[in-house]
Chain A
């Protein structure tokens, strides 16, 4: 096949792609050798610790560090005064890392210390005297929107008055009023979700070292070492090229490690102490002071004709994203009705600030809450007209050519295929036991491309090293090795992939938005193809024929055209062995700003059982059906489906940020922030649908995020059916569920 021709993904037969090889980082991870954020050590290393605000909202009148500085073993202390103020879009990031004039949430960093031992650092924190003027605080999103709410930022105004509403947004098309007038059934409800945390098991950690020459080294667990480099360099006034950031193995992120918290502080401490500084967050700090997702209040109204056609849909979404603007309400508002082909649709969103930690991305940021609200209403409408809920969705499902509710016209998408596969799945028709209910829901995520750079180096022994710039958060190195092997026509185990540091590779966007298999995959394909071109050129030199007369087939260079059959094909290994004599090392390289990512849709089926006497609730069966486009490594695709579903189960049933009246977080630990444990769950069945993305040579779509979008709605639909009462607030924890059951029974009795 000519090198420039893009194969038709639907017809292509793959050798390596689609198989389930062992991951290159696997042995290290099962033997304890893998190096995560907190696993690095440096000579002369100090321990860094952060002093955090005990108040939800307080003016910082003064900070006296003199006693702490005098403590033996304390080598550096930094406060906001050590970071130059700025007025660009990194200011919020800076102020979030170190409070300036006000502490904006319980846990907000106000000072940091580097000391010879953890014990000294801990003692030093106690000696730092902060004079706070405690201010009134606000936690709830709707409370924060009221006229008399305590104001977080003087420079945010609405209608000329200070406000906590940082911005609004609106999406849609058509005329909802007209559509509602045509509707025969209308359901309108308001839903609420509490803030949840990504809950990655590895706390944030980094090791920073800045020398007297101003050159810096930073080791950290992050979803984007290039992002960390650019951000930290700017916050510290360093040249990008003088700060090398190495991404450690990362112990989970889910969006929560797409920004910086400790990293600039560690660098500042190291620069000041002139020694390496290691910082790790405790689990309590992770909950109080990293980036949970937004809490929300969402009103949804959908109108239906008797035949099941949706005539109009609208939603009003209020998201608080913590102490700074930037909640994911825009994406929630864009994603809310993305599964449907609608003539009249409108969504309106409010981005609200409150005295909570600044939100960070969490898996499909903004979309799960919106889907919870919308898909609950869709289920209720299906009940109202007596239609099967999958049939109702099929009748209105978005497909190729549908003008999406957020604007673009869809290319080929796979929602209908997931709905059909769900309907045909034995789960959907299996009998239910007493106190059990079944729910379904759909979900969508945009999926991103973005800046990506990959290097592929052919070793003289014929093995291939792949340098990637996107930290591997769930097995992507394995997928990239498969792709490189596929393109080169060599065995999977001849390829080894690493995540390169920022000095070794061009810029890469963060591992986010389900973009890695798509974007790094694209760049890997192109890098491999560039290497193949060079391999063919080298073979031509070895054979002394024109380069154009060489083709690449099954991992070998072969003479073609008039030279066909003149020479024995040369393997990659044979060409590589002679590379020094034919022009030096052989490498392929590619950099792109990838576009063409294809949305991934999913349909989930859930069975839940409720104990009506206690409100206890269990998911008894779960099936994920999702369009992957093309599954490169099906095991890790299934893993994304299962992991997303279970995070959704946590969000639906028990996870929530609980604040006290004083605005402090009450459950900053895994004891009372209740993520699902193994015994809470059934097996999570998966069905991989493959509707190829036309924007990728193999048809790849991202898969990581869509899987958390349907669960809360699907579970709420199942629980509502089991309990006989519509649940509109998350989490559906036992006290909430029991109260809802009791209230509905009381009402029924009256």
Chain B
């Protein structure tokens, strides 16, 4: 295996595009190195992004934030502006692993690892995040949810890498939240995750909403019916019940070592509801 730590995106792309064998991008490494050590993957080339300028930066852009691919969860948690704007995304990123993992793990890595249980992704999807993909053909911006296409599969083409995530400006009276269920308090992979974004009009009626669920399908689910259950409502119990029912109905989980199908279906509704309540509280505080 070769290890390269280029200083420009162009070099990184050239290296990735030129590798005949298996090439992987190294950002935080908390998934990649585990997979290497357990023998699940045997890359011929690893390209470390952390020495490329901008990769470790959080920059304000048009009222939102652009987050470099190598920014760790801990760095996001320490960024007051980002935390105030998209607390749900930050809390999702901060849920990934321990303090030690937080020092390394990145949101882009979480996205590109394409685990159905990724914590950051439902939050990114709920927040309406886009990512900037760099590749041999140049750069393109795509919606975050278009990156993972199945467990461990992404839409990235050979030579492409995700250089940054963009979290847009947030309207007034809007907020996001992310909750996940794990058996312990820390250190587990989500058994179910729920990200909710909602916006209120001046009368406190929900004018916009996005709901995304993790670990209940091969990819992160965007549940339009759940969002519709909120829109037009004042997020009363009845609306939240409809949201929970829609979330549970949309879930298509499997039985595995982390949870049963029935459990995930039920808890998807419970978490969607609780996340919506949390987002609502924040949205009201943002008015």
Contacts and interface: CB of A to CB of B under 8 A. Distances in A.
A168 interface: no
A674 B184 contact: yes
Given A614-B270, A738-B266, A739-B263, A677 B187 contact: yes
Nearest to A283: B38
A504 B77 CA distance: 56
B270 A671 contact: no
B185 A613 contact: no
Interface string A34-75: 000000000000000000000000000000000000000000
B184 A654 contact: yes
Nearest to A666: B257
A738 B184 CA distance: 15
Nearest to B244: A613
Nearest to B261: A735
Contact of B262 (A122, A674, A676, A739): A739
Contacts of A667: 257
A133 interface: no
A679 B185 contact: yes
Interface string A114-154: 00000000100000000000000000000000000000000
Contacts of B262: 735, 739
Interface in B249-266: 256-260, 262-263, 266
B189 interface: yes
Q: From A615, A670, A735, A738, name the one whose CB has the most chain B CB atoms within 10 angstroms.
A: A735
A379 B38 CA distance: 45
B10 interface: no
Contact of B184 (A122, A676, A739): A676
A680 B263 contact: no
A653 B185 CA distance: 12
A284 B259 contact: no
Interface in B221-271: 256-260, 262-263, 266-267, 270-271
B188 interface: yes
Nearest to B255: A735
A607 B270 CA distance: 25
B186 interface: yes
B151 interface: no
Interface in B166-217: 181, 183-189, 191
A616 interface: yes
B186 A677 contact: yes
B259 A735 contact: yes
Contacts of A284: 38
B257 A614 contact: no
Contacts of A679: 184-186
Contacts, number: 59
Contacts of A734: 181, 183, 191, 259, 263, 267
Contacts of B185: 677, 679-680
Interface string A669-687: 0111010110110000000
Interface in A645-679: 653-654, 658, 666-667, 670-672, 674, 676-677, 679
Contacts of A670: 187
A738 B257 contact: no
A230 interface: no
Interface in B19-62: 38-39
B interface bracket (residues with beta carbon within 8 Å of A)? 20 to 34
A705 to B, nearest CB: 25
Interface string A722-749: 0000000000011100110010000000
Interface in B125-157: none
Main secondary structure of the interface of A (DSSP, over half): loop
Nearest to B259: A735
A233 to B, nearest CB: 35
A interface bracket (residues with beta carbon within 8 Å of B)? 20 to 34
Contacts of B259: 734-735
Nearest to B39: A122
Given A658-B257, A667-B257, A671-B189, A677 B263 contact: no
B263 A615 contact: yes
Contacts of B191: 734
A511 B263 CA distance: 43
Contacts of A616: 181, 183
Given A658-B257, A738-B266, A671 B183 contact: no
A738 B187 contact: no
A211 B54 CA distance: 57
Nearest to A660: B257
A663 to B, nearest CB: 14
Contact of B263 (A122, A658, A738): A738
Contacts of B188: 671-672, 674
A667 B189 CA distance: 12
A613 B270 CA distance: 7
A680 to B, nearest CB: 5
A389 B85 CA distance: 53
A671 B271 CA distance: 22
A739 B257 CA distance: 16
A748 B224 CA distance: 35
B267 A672 contact: no
B32 to A, nearest CB: 15
Given A677-B185, A677-B186, A672 B257 contact: yes
Given A614-B267, A658-B257, A734-B259, A674 B183 contact: yes
Contacts of A739: 260, 262-263
Nearest to A284: B38
B183 A654 contact: yes
A654 B182 CA distance: 11
B21 to A, nearest CB: 16
Contacts of A742: 266
Nearest to A617: B183
Contacts of B263: 615, 734-735, 738-739
A522 B196 CA distance: 65
A671 B187 contact: yes
A614 B244 CA distance: 13
B270 A735 contact: no
Contacts of B260: 735, 739
A747 B36 CA distance: 49
Nearest to B187: A677
Q: From B39, B187, B262, B271, name the one whose CB has the most chain A CB atoms within 10 angstroms.
A: B187
A85 to B, nearest CB: 32
A615 B186 CA distance: 16
A700 B185 CA distance: 38
Contacts of B38: 284
B42 to A, nearest CB: 10
Nearest to B185: A679
B183 A733 contact: yes
A653 B259 CA distance: 14
Q: From B184, B188, B270, name the one whose CB has the most chain A CB atoms within 10 angstroms.
A: B184
Contacts of B181: 614, 616, 734
Contacts of A738: 263, 266-267
B183 A677 contact: no
B120 to A, nearest CB: 17
Interface string B83-104: 0000000000000000000000
20 contacts: A613-B267, A615-B263, A616-B181, A666-B257, A667-B257, A671-B188, A672-B257, A672-B258, A674-B183, A674-B187, A677-B185, A680-B184, A734-B191, A734-B259, A734-B263, A734-B267, A735-B260, A738-B266, A738-B267, A739-B262
Closest 4 A/B residue pairs (Cβ): A735-B263, A679-B185, A666-B257, A658-B257
Interface of B: 38-39, 181, 183-189, 191, 256-260, 262-263, 266-267, 270-271
Given A654-B183, A735-B260, 4 more contacts: A122-B39, A671-B189, A733-B183, A734-B259
